[in-house]
Amino acid sequence: MDTLYVPATTTQSVNPPCLQRYLQMRTHTHSLIAPLTPEDMVVQSMPDASPVKWHLAHTTWFFETFILSQMHDYQVFDPAFGYLFNSYYEALGPRQPRAQRGLLTRPSLEAVLSYRRYVDDHMSVFLSSDLSPEVTGLLELGLAHEEQHQELLCMDVLHLLAQSPLKPAYNPRWPNVEAGRRGRFTRIDGGLVEIGADNDGFAFDNERPRHKVWLEPFEIADRLVTNGEWLEFMADGGYQRADLWLSDGWAMVLAQQWDSPMYWQSEGAHWQVMSLRGLQPLQPDAPVTHISYYEAAAFAVWKGARLPTEAEWEHACLSGALEQAHDVAWQWTNSAYLPYPGFTPGTGAVGEYNGKFMSGQMVLRGGASVTPKGHARPTYRNFFGPDKRWLFSGLRLARDFK
Ligand code: AVJ
Ligand code: FE
């Protein structure tokens, strides 16, 4: 399809709730690009990050591939897009190498927005018909997927703008994170508890099945570690003392010359932090963000504490023991990202969504300021490699109860 697609002007008379949710989700993604220039949307600032234009197209490709292409008379917008915007699904064939997504100056932003309109228009017709439970499940997955990419888009935009000497704000009115008191430990009894999602409502496959876990008594902080506490760690030689660090973490400190969290910069003792609001003075009473698992683990050792396991985190959260659970920063846990006992990935290409990444990554729990409202839940398992810092990651301390 060469020409720009213009959607039909007729409005649907049927407007079922799932169609409304779909359109709101797509409109929200579109609203996130309002502060950006077309140039902002093409560049890839590092192999882990993707260009905004790629996120816009990939989320669209997801609905086209997993839902619309299952309809017998659907014509794909452009057969070349399968190669360009497939992220990692081996079952769906070869794809643009991840690290080279920023070389895609074509299709133009205009063409990608046109692709979004084309798929939205076909989805609108489709979602106005009767949907099988299978399609409803794929729709839920597609919506949760778009929410994940809304957050990834914010992470990737911040990383890109932080590379600019101008340190431009993405949006000067982007909400600031709340500052507050430091965390206090709460005792949790533990025992035989259940974690994981039950079968009501949407959850990713990696949150199931619900299963039993034994917890020794433990203590967990009700709040996240603050920037002020992180400054104390730095002042006490936190980034210079190999004894605090895991071996792989210490290797990163040396190789990457880590001496503070990502996006911090100082002139003497005056610290500033690059954020979606631009360069801002460091707020000592706000939670620290943009730290790797290795940094979180070293800080915990320095404090005579440890990170909670993901089961401890979930149990404490559902006991009402946690503040700042879902809306400030993802919280590194001590748990490797592994399948729960009895885990079964979905069948077909969607089975590659989560399960195949279960090696070499750590679980984060909670949710961040950039996580779309209502996206995360107490059973939610986010995961990243232990050296990653461009996500909105922080930490909450735990310790054994003695
Ligand atoms: C759960 C955030 C690690 O970034 O690959 C996006 C989310 N999955 N598309 C990722 C995801 C498929 C995923 N993380
Ligand atoms: Fe994706």
| Secondary structure, 3-state, 288-320 | CCCCCHHHHHHHHHHCCCECCCHHHHHHHHHCC
Question: According to the model, what pLDDT value does residue 116 have?
Answer: 98
Tell me the H-state helices in 128-246: 133-162, 227-235
Expressed in angstroms and rounded, the spacing between residue 249 Cα and the centre of ligand 1 is 23
Residue 250 contacts residue 209 (beta carbons within 8 Å): no
Residue 236 contacts residue 302 (beta carbons within 8 Å): yes
At how many degrees (to 10) do helices 133-162 and 52-66 cross? 170
Is the CB of residue 152 below 6 angstroms from any atom belonging to ligand 1?
yes
> Within a 10 A sphere around the Cβ of 345, how many other Cβ atoms?
16
Is the CB of residue 383 below 6 angstroms from any atom belonging to ligand 1?
yes
Taking CA atoms only, the protein residue closest to ligand 1 atom 4 is: 152
Q: For residue 391, which atom of ligand 1 is closest to its CA?
A: 2
Expressed in angstroms and rounded, the spacing between residue 353 Cα and the centre of ligand 1 is 8
Main-chain phi, psi angles of 188, to 5 degrees: -125, 130
pLDDT band at 5 (very low <50, low <70, confident <90, very high): low
Percent of the chain past pLDDT 90, that is, above it, reads: 93
Q: Does the structure's ipTM exceed the value 0.95?
A: yes
Question: According to the model, what pLDDT value does residue 275 have?
Answer: 98
Mutation pick for ligand 1 pocket among 60, 61, 86, 152 (CB with most ligand atoms within 8 Å): 152
Is the CB of residue 61 below 6 angstroms from any atom belonging to ligand 1?
no
Whole-number Å distance between alpha carbons of 195 and 213: 7
Q: Which residues pair with 265 in a beta bridge?
A: 272
Taking CA atoms only, the protein residue closest to ligand 1 atom 9 is: 145
Is the CB of residue 361 below 6 angstroms from any atom belonging to ligand 1?
no
Q: For residue 354, which atom of ligand 1 is closest to its CA?
A: 8
Residue 246 contacts residue 297 (beta carbons within 8 Å): yes
- Average pLDDT for the chain: 96
Question: According to the model, what pLDDT value does residue 6 have?
Answer: 64
Is the CB of residue 381 below 6 angstroms from any atom belonging to ligand 1?
no
Question: Across residues 49-68, what is the average pLDDT?
Answer: 98
**What's the pLDDT tens digit per position in 369-398?**
999 999 999 999 999 999 999 999 999 999
Ligand number nearest CA of 155 is 1
**What's the pLDDT tens digit per position in 127-165?**
999 999 999 999 999 999 999 999 999 999 999 999 999
**What's the pLDDT tens digit per position in 164-190?**
999 999 999 999 988 999 999 999 999
- Please name the residue that has the structure tokens 């996130």: 32
Whole-number Å distance between alpha carbons of 194 and 314: 9
Main-chain phi, psi angles of 195, to 5 degrees: -130, 165
Question: According to the model, what pLDDT value does residue 15 have?
Answer: 56
Taking CA atoms only, the protein residue closest to ligand 1 atom 1 is: 382
Question: According to the model, what pLDDT value does residue 12 have?
Answer: 43
Question: Across residues 206-220, what is the average pLDDT?
Answer: 98
| Six-digit token string for 243 | 């004894």
Is the CB of residue 145 below 6 angstroms from any atom belonging to ligand 1?
yes
Query: Whole-prediction pTM value?
Result: 0.96
By the CB criterion, residues less than 5 angstroms from ion ligand 2 are 87
Residue type, 363: V
Expressed in angstroms and rounded, the spacing between residue 330 Cα and the centre of ligand 1 is 14
Question: According to the model, what pLDDT value does residue 2 have?
Answer: 46
Taking CA atoms only, the protein residue closest to ligand 1 atom 13 is: 148
Taking CA atoms only, the protein residue closest to ligand 1 atom 3 is: 383
Question: Across residues 258-276, what is the average pLDDT?
Answer: 96
Q: Which of 117, 116, 54, 119 is nearest to 86 (CA)?
A: 54
Give the DSSP H/E element, type plus range, for residue 18. helix 17-32
pLDDT band at 4 (very low <50, low <70, confident <90, very high): low
